[in-house]
A and B are shown apart, each in its own frame.
Chain A
Amino acid sequence: MARIEARRDPTAGDDGAEMLRGDLVVRDLTVAYQEKVVLRGVNARMRPGQVIGVIGPNGGGKSTLLKAILGIVPVTHGTVTLAGRPAATMRGRMAYVPQREAVDWDFPVTVWDVAMMGRYPRLGWLRRPGSPDEARVEAVLRQVGMWGERRTQIGQLSGGQQQRVFIARALAQEGDVLLLDEPLNGIDAQTQEVIRAIIEEERQAGKIVLLATHDLVSASCACDCLCCLNQRLVSYGPTPETYTPETLSATYGGPVIMLGPAGGVASVPAREPGAHPHHWPDHPHHRHAHENLGREHD
């Protein structure tokens, strides 16, 4: 129940005291690639100990929001602050797990090398990793179950193992914010379990976790708040208030089918066929059987 209590109204409160606690605040954010606006009007306040699900259709701006928070895409308008300071100046405190498709898997680095990269912000320029860094890397590789594969070149791993290595890199960084871009995409059950456990641990440790996903069931189960994007901010708020047919319909731009009892936990755009394999079976919020839950298409 601690989780429920940890949920607060994400948009309430003004500046000042909250900021000092380490809130991540996105204000009136607009991002454009060249002249094309891909995301606009995003306002969100994310608090330590909250898991925020970033959902929406493909091209809706999920990855873009994460990258804008990290300051690696140019922000046209608006601000992102962490603990009251511009987030772009605090990049070392934000740990990022990119989509697997964005990585060059043929690159000659081992599992150990990748995890060690998470230590670089702490090392700074010119310095080489020391024994505290090695101890931390060993700990996180054991945590994600990849210690045995530490000498393996990353291209030889399965998709789920690759995902766990990148999560290890993010954990090695010991940041305040963890940004996961589609971590549940095409991975095995063991990896899903590892990711679920890590998200929970990070929440308990008072970190802010952003989880961009097209997996609505996982998002509704794992997240305290949902940030619904469709090239603009459709809705941001506690999961029980945002995970509704109305909001999802507005987010995905079509009619939704309700599954389960009213007060609904499961809904999909009607035009979407296909089953979804992801389940988070032992989560307390996972009260209903979800079947025929689709994912968005372009």
Chain B
Amino acid sequence: MIRVVDLHKNFGRQEVLKGINLDVEAGKITTIIGGSGGGKTVLLKHLNALLLPDRGSVLVDGVDITKIGESALNNIRQKFGVLFQGAALLDSMTIYDNVAFPLREKTKLTETEIQKRVEQRLEQVGLVGAGYKYPAEVSGGMKKRAGLARALVMEPEIVLFDEPTTGLDPLLGKSIHQLIRKIHGTFGFTGVIVSHDIPEVFKISDRVAMLANGVIAEIGKTEEFVASQNPIVRQFVRGETEGPLTVL
């Protein structure tokens, strides 16, 4: 579904991605873990061309999205839903309008149909009755849920999650993970999660990839990944300060 080939990205003199190769399987949840500031979000933003690489390609259903025009790219982007780290809700709109926004912009649905769809999504993420509130009036957890509702409202084939539990307490984080799993069961989308919330995120992942030093150091099914003897993976998963990964 998504194939990343030899992806390189520099910011000034800083080399962030040094040749990423990654296959995201259709219908599965693939989680990318790695240290803070290691380039996970940068990699995620390349998957729907929010960032363009210096070298390499990103293929979505066989189309290299790094080399296509804006119109073709917009068609590809409509396959995606994105849950941003801070939810990125438009703060001039209520939660209801935020969720309805992609439908109003990109479909010809009537307002009654939109209302039905939005209320359904808000119910799925546990936000019944909160639609009239503005993003500034709700908690971080509610914002994430609203962001998730917006990401799912167009019924996308692929959903990208950028640190979905960052800034939430462990219980709320767990509830977001359960919600992602539940909604994945309903919609069957292809999911890519960027997270360092381990081991919790393993419970909802089909496959896990480890990004370290600008490359994918390890990738595999979750159970294989957890049992990996790769010293980088072992150090990161166990949270050890000594090992091949430099902590400070």
Q: A and B: partners?
A: no
